[in-house]
């Protein structure tokens, strides 16, 4: 009897062990519902608006060796159909980014000539992935890419390299300034073939206007599309485009936190450009965490260099920003814009500014008083949920 009991205990123990083992295996599998054994891909969409620091944030992702990055692929949609409104083009833009996320580059057949090289893509050379192996064999995959040298040696590669390269990455990151409504993205958020995360980048509208005024001509066609002018180019002198941009920030933010649909949970993160400028490493670490990316030693060193003025020779605004004068740069609008203009922008963007922690300036004295900071500290605005 005693011997039988011992055997029973052994058998029971074995069954318990086996059950736990099977449960472990099973739970591992349920974490990956859409693939067999490969880790799940991440599709990150950086949504921003013109002149809000999104090229800089795009670079932060582009240089990561696990990321296939494209800047503004929907530029091609807007150029091809410039007589339409942003609202009408939303759907074509959504279809395009869905295909690109899935590395199906045939979607560009609609917008590019049949015979084309990598260089046919808008701003292709800011994509580290298109400048390194396997898209371009001159540079190793984990090299920090240099836009200038990339342009000279990688542009003539056949367009098929875009797709080939994309397929080798765990992360596809796209940056777009052409979404004004987060609901347009719902079908992608619920699409089982995608694992979409949205990084919403905003910036003080007053700083945005200052920057937009420096590149006014370049924005007139896009302004026309935002304002639905049937192809007529316009200057945004009355801040109608700014009104639309600010309205869209409110819509996205409120939808994502107040009326969060279940499929948006843990898939939305809001970042203020000013916070990135103030403490780049902290903010970048959090953005990487959100995207399931690891900060490598090399990237850390590169980020330190570009935020401390040891720039890569690129002429982009963002790269000229050093942390020493970061506060100075994000305050520059205060000495450039007239008080009257500041009031106009504030009146158009009031709701967004209240929501995002950008305080209104009430008097010209406040505008001049550089001891005052009109960006509320980040801790009062913790944007993760």
Ligand X SMILES: *[C@@H]1O[C@H](CO)[C@@H](O)[C@H](O)[C@H]1NC(C)=O
Q: Which is nearer to ligand X, 29 or 156 (CB)?
A: 156
How many CB atoms lie under 10 A from the CB of residue 190? 13
Compute the chain's Rg from CA coordinates: 24
- Please tell me whether residue 156 binds ligand X under the rule CB under 6 A: yes
Under rule CB under 6 A, residue 33 binds ligand X: no
Supply φ then ψ for residue 333, to 5 degrees: -55, -25
Using CB under 6 A as the criterion, what x/- string covers residues 231-250 for binding ligand X?
A: x-------------------
For position 146 contacting ligand X by CB under 6 A, the verdict is yes
> Would you give the DSSP letter of residue 49?
-
C-alpha–C-alpha distance, residues 135 and 161, integer Å: 5
Name the residue among 176, 161, 146 with its Cα closest to residue 47: 176
Residue 54 vs 331, nearer CB to ligand X: 331
5 is a contact residue toward ligand X (CB under 6 A): no
CA distances from 44 to 2, 68, 94, 240, 260 (A): 62, 10, 14, 29, 18
Determine, following the binding rule CB under 6 A, whether residue 313 of this chain makes contact with ligand X: yes
Number of residues engaging ligand X in binding (CB under 6 A): 24
Sign of the CA dihedral 260, 276, 358, 209?
negative
Interacting residue with ligand X among 328, 338, 347, 354 (CB under 6 A): 328
Please tell me the distance from the alpha carbon of residue 129 to that of residue 239, in angstroms, as a whole number. 37
Under rule CB under 6 A, residue 302 binds ligand X: yes
Instruction: State yes or no: residue 332 binds ligand X (CB under 6 A).
Output: yes
With respect to ligand X, which residue has the nearer C-beta, 91 or 370?
370
Residue with Cβ nearer ligand X (75 or 159): 159
DSSP for residue 47: E
> Residues 269 to 288: which contact ligand X by CB under 6 A?
none
- For residue 356, the tally of other CB atoms under 10 A from its CB is 23
Contact between 230 and ligand X by CB under 6 A: the answer reads yes
The least CB distance from residue 93 to ligand X, in Å, is: 21
Q: Of 132-140, 168-176, 284-292, 328-336, which segment contacts ligand X by CB under 6 A?
A: 328-336
Confirm or reject binding of residue 29 to ligand X (CB under 6 A). no
Return the residue matching tokens 């001049």: 368
Question: Does residue 83 interact with ligand X by CB under 6 A?
Answer: yes
Cα 38–Cα 118–Cα 145 angle in degrees, nearest 5: 70
CB of 146 to ligand X, least distance (A): 4
| Residue 269 to residue 32: CA distance in whole angstroms | 23
Residues near ligand X (CB under 6 A): 83, 115-117, 144, 146, 148-149, 156, 230-231, 298, 301-302, 305, 310, 312-313, 328, 331-332, 334-335, 370
């Amino acid at each position: 009897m005693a011997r039988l009991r011992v055997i029973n205990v052994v058998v029971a123990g074995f069954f318990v062990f086996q059950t736990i083992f099977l449960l472990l295996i099973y739970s591992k599998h349920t974490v990956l519902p859409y693939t067999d054994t490969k880790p799940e891909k991440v599709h990150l969409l950086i949504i921003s608006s013109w002149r809000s620091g999104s090229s800089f944030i795009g670079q932060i992702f582009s240089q990561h060796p696990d990321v296939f990055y494209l800047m503004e692929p929907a530029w091609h949609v807007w150029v091809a159909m410039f007589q339409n409104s942003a609202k009408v083009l939303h759907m074509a833009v959504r279809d395009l980014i869905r295909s690109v996320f899935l590395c199906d580059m045939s979607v560009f057949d609609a917008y590019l000539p049949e015979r084309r090289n990598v260089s046919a893509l808008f701003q292709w050379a800011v994509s580290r992935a298109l400048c390194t192996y396997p898209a371009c064999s001159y540079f190793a995959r984990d090299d920090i890419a240099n836009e200038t040298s990339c342009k000279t040696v990688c542009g003539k590669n056949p367009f098929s390299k875009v797709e080939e390269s994309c397929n080798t990455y765990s992360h596809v990151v796209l940056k777009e300034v052409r979404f004004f409504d987060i609901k347009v993205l719902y079908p992608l958020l619920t699409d089982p073939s995608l694992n979409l995360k949205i990084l919403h980048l905003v910036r003080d509208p007053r700083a945005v206007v200052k920057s937009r005024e420096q590149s006014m001509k370049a924005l007139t066609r896009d302004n026309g599309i935002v304002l639905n002018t049937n192809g007529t180019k316009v200057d945004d002198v009355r801040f109608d485009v700014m009104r639309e941009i600010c309205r869209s920030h409110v819509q996205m933010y409120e939808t994502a936190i107040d009326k969060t649909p279940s499929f948006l949970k843990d898939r939305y993160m809001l970042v203020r450009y000013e916070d990135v400028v103030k403490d780049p490493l902290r903010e970048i670490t959090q953005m990487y965490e959100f995207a399931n990316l690891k900060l490598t030693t090399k990237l850390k060193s590169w980020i330190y260099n570009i935020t401390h003025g040891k720039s890569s020779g690129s002429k982009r605004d963002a790269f000229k920003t050093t942390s020493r004068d970061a506060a100075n740069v994000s305050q520059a609008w205060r000495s450039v814009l007239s008080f009257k203009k500041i009031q106009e922008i504030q009146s158009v963007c009031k709701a967004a500014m209240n929501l995002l922690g950008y305080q209104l300036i009430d008097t010209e004295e406040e505008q001049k008083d550089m001891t005052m900071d009109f960006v509320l500290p980040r801790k009062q605005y913790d944007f993760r949920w």
